């Protein structure tokens, strides 16, 4: 397994930026399955459904992108909830995506629903946490903006 994290220092005017590059190795396991590593050292299996010629033993590539989107933003929101000392009984993100009909098929519209459940939710602060994630912190969200229309919903449950 090869995992590298490259760090470069770039300078623009008086500002310095650290540029990071992830190196992911994805290995064919046979048939339609692949194993892919992660900079954290964890591996995952990518496969397709049996009706498409796979064995259905892993994540579907496009659906994995949606998991990455929800996971990235969810980590931001969870971190902000902790910093703001917000009490939430349940937090989940539902991601619903429309895919184009023509090849290459890709997500052209994605709806992201942030669901919060709790007796005493501080709705304005939770909305602020969501807004900060989608507008400032979530890099995966920024990538999705390049190719898909995004619809964001925040739903509070008592």
Q: Which tens digits make up the pLDDT trace of 7-28? A: 444 455 566 666 788 899 999 9
- What is the tally of structural domains in the chain? 2
140 plus 113 within the same structural domain: yes
127 plus 88 within the same structural domain: yes
71-85 pLDDT per residue, tens: 999 999 999 999 999
pLDDT confidence of residue 20: 81
pLDDT beyond 60 at 6? no
pLDDT confidence of residue 19: 72
82 plus 11 within the same structural domain: no
16 plus 43 within the same structural domain: yes
67 plus 36 within the same structural domain: no
Cis peptide before 104 (omega within 30 of 0): yes
Neighbours of 21 (CB within 10 A): 9
Q: Do the beta carbons of residue 10 and residue 19 sit within 8 Å?
A: yes
User: What's the CATH number where 106 sits?
Assistant: 3.30.300.20
128 plus 91 within the same structural domain: yes
Q: Which residues contact 147 (CB under 8 A, 6 or more apart)?
A: 106, 107, 108
119-150 pLDDT per residue, tens: 999 999 999 999 999 999 999 999 999 999 99
83 plus 123 within the same structural domain: yes
Domain encompassing residue 43: 4-52
pLDDT grade for 2, boundaries at 50, 70 and 90:
very low
Q: Do the beta carbons of residue 94 and residue 153 sit within 8 Å?
A: no
Q: Which residue, chain included where needed, has tokens 């942030």?
A: 114
The rounded distance, in Å, linking the Cα atoms of 74 and 112 is 11
């Amino acid at each position: 397994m090869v995992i590298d994290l490259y760090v470069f220092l770039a300078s623009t005017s008086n500002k310095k930026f650290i540029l990071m590059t992830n190196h992911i190795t994805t290995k064919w396991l046979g048939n339609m399955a692949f194993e892919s590593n992660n900079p954290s050292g964890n591996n995952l299996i990518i496969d397709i459904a049996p009706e498409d010629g796979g064995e259905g033993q892993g994540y579907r590539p496009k659906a994995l992108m949606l998991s990455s989107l929800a996971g990235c933003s969810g980590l931001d929101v969870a971190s902000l909830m902790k910093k703001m000392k917000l009490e939430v009984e349940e937090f989940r993100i539902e991601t619903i995506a429309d895919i184009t009909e023509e090849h290459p098929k890709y997500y052209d519209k994605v709806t992201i629903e942030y669901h919060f459940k709790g007796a005493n939710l501080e709705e304005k602060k939770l909305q602020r946490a969501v807004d900060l994630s989608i507008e400032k912190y979530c890099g995966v969200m920024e990538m999705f903006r390049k190719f898909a229309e995004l619809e964001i919903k925040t739903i509070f449950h008592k």
